[in-house]
Structure 1
Amino acid sequence: MKEPQAVFSDYLAKSNLKMTPQRRLILDVFLRDDGHLASEDLYNMVKREDKSIGQATVYRTLKLLSESGLAKEVHFGDGVTRYERKYGSKHHDHIICEQCGKTLEVMDEEIEHLQEKLAESHGFVLTGHKMYLYGLCADCRKA
């Protein structure tokens, strides 16, 4: 498996774009975080390391990271587009607290198998899926 930096460089080259120092820094900061980052979150993290990088540069680079297959958009129902690592990450689903926004990544082989069986029963072969479960976390239920 290629390093993410090489994947991104190759994608940029194929798109007739250059790997600028700003794009490299944004990529590096993105790869250091394992969470679900909104463009503003990533911008604030990048800004701590290089104050000259603008928010539009971060936003455009996140789109490039997504197009290159390194990142993917996730939507938790609050109107904010977030990004998480895609390249080299295993498939997972999300459980989201509707009150505090706490998000858990979960993987359940039985659910995955049931989804494949359901698709097959309707004549489909799954090429991918997204599952978001919403509810209240234990902390919010106590409050």
Structure 2
Amino acid sequence: MSRAGYAPCGEEEKGYLMQRMTKQLQAVFAELSRVNDFRSAQQIFEDIQSQGQRVGLATVYRNLQSLADEGTVDVLRSAEGESLFRHCKSTEHHHHLVCRNCGAAAEIAQHEIESWVSEVAAAHGYTDVSHSMELFGLCSKCTRSAE
């Protein structure tokens, strides 16, 4: 297991997942693969609908949960508490830098963060510590448009 209890999303796992996908799951996966930012279930639902595909909102939620359970998507909570999803592009433990405005995201892996987590855990007598960290800010595009 890598981040937050999810298994890494390597090509082997994706191949297995693709073999057992329903049309609805394929639509959700294709939409997540098409975009690079974190999206809410509602946004994914609306995008799929706008492409002329029929899928229910409850089905989108169910399929997103299935993809999250498989470790195929990254999940984070917005400042408002809404779950946001993005196709997992990395098989390594990583964190995200997410734009508060447009949802654009960058995957980041910083060894300094991992060292800090280990130091904090050791200082408090903890072992076998896992963590998840998301950083939120404004991307350069949104910063320019706000000026």
TM-score of the aligned structures, taking structure 2 as reference length: 0.68
How far off is 1:4 after superposition? 1.2
2:134 to 132, 138, 141: 132
Relative distance call for 1:119 and 1:8 in structure 2 (3 A) is: farther
Relative distance call for 1:21 and 1:101 in structure 2 (3 A) is: closer
Report 1 or 2 for greater relative contact order, CA contacts < 8 Å, sequence distance ≥ 6. 2
2:113 to 107, 111, 116: 111
Return the index of the structure with the highest Cα Rg.
1
Which residue identity is paired with 2:53?
K
Q: Are the counterparts in 1 of residues 38 and 103 from structure 2 also a CA contact under 8 Å?
A: no
Q: What is the count of residue pairs matched by the alignment?
A: 133
How far off is 1:88 after superposition? 4.2
Other-structure match for 2:74 = 72
Which residue identity is paired with 1:45?
D
TM-score of the aligned structures, taking structure 1 as reference length: 0.69
CA distance in 2, matches of 1:97, 1:34: 12
Matches within 5 A, 1:37-48: 37-48=39-50
| Per-residue deviation, residues 41-91 of structure 1 (Å, max 9, x unmatched) | 211222233432222221111111112221232013123210123474433
Say yes or no: does 1:6 pair with 2:16: yes
Aligned to 2:74, the other structure's residue is in SS state strand
How far off is 1:117 after superposition? 2.0
How far off is 1:2 after superposition? 0.5
RMSD of aligned residue pairs (Cα, Å): 3.0
Gaps of 5+ in 2: 1-10
How far off is 1:124 after superposition? 2.4
